[in-house]
Amino acid sequence: MKKIMSTIAVALTLTTGNALAAAGQWGYTGKTAPEHWGTLDPSYALCASGANQSPIDLTDFTEAELKPIKFNYTGLVTEVAHNDHAIQAKYTAGSTITVNGQVFALKQINFHAPSENLVNGGQLPIEAHFIHTDTDGNLAIIAVMYTLGNENTELKKIWQQMPAEKGKKASMTSQVRADHLLPNNKDYYRVNGSLTTPPCTEGVLWMVMKNPVPVSEGQIKKLVKILKHPNNRSVQPVNSRLVLQ
């Protein structure tokens, strides 16, 4: 148990995008770009050799009776950080999802531009990852796509606090609940995958919401400007995995 929790702690630390994590430095441009992750450090080997890597192009769906995700998002976003790899929203403890009887606690929300996952070859401007763990250290990620439309009032509150400089963080001055960042229709695709950042840990349960949430052009441009470069990993081979819907 201690070994499992230690592994997941390292994975989450790396997911938050600290400039120097437990292993080598990584990024999205130049010699530390995603295509080089697997050679930057031995602990990143799965980034190059893994068979179930994320993100993917979700297509060739398999029909399945997916049970609804039970959301119990009761807390609030407490802090927004710019860690050079993503914009990360920290969340209070106590919020959970239940999937097939398995309970996962929400830890943080990371924003990527453009989207990392594709759906039938289509890429959207923003993707948010709601990262969860269970008591055994298993990971579950809910992915929400954001598409061009009307201004998003909930994201606006986060964007107002979003630091413009990497390494900076800011406390929230207004209340934002994670469930208000989700689409109303919570139908989803389900696939087994990995973290999309080093160490590219596999065995991650991915649930990608089918329905995107609207954001304005100005909100998209602000995130892109602050990130200064795309922070999406390219899609990985699906191999023998099934994409359930």
Domains (ranges, CATH) in the chain? 2-56+66-227 (3.10.200.10)
Burial of residue 173 (number of CB atoms within 10 Å: 0-12, 13-18, 19+): exposed
Query: Is there a contact between 141 and 205 (Cβ–Cβ < 8 Å)?
Result: yes
State which amino acid sits at residue 179. D
Give 3-state DSSP helix, strand, coil % of the chain, rounded to 5.
Answer: 25, 30, 45
Residue 164 tokens read as 């413009």
How much is the pTM?
0.90
What confidence tens digit (pLDDT) does each residue in 128-148 have? 999 999 999 999 999 999 999
Instruction: Tell me if 150 sits within 8 A of 48, measured CB to CB.
Output: no
Q: How far apart are CA 58 and CA 65, in angstroms?
A: 17
**Least confident span in 18-27, 37-46, 142-151:** 18-27
Give the active site residues: 85
Question: pLDDT tens, 65-97?
Answer: 999 999 999 999 999 999 989 999 999 999 999
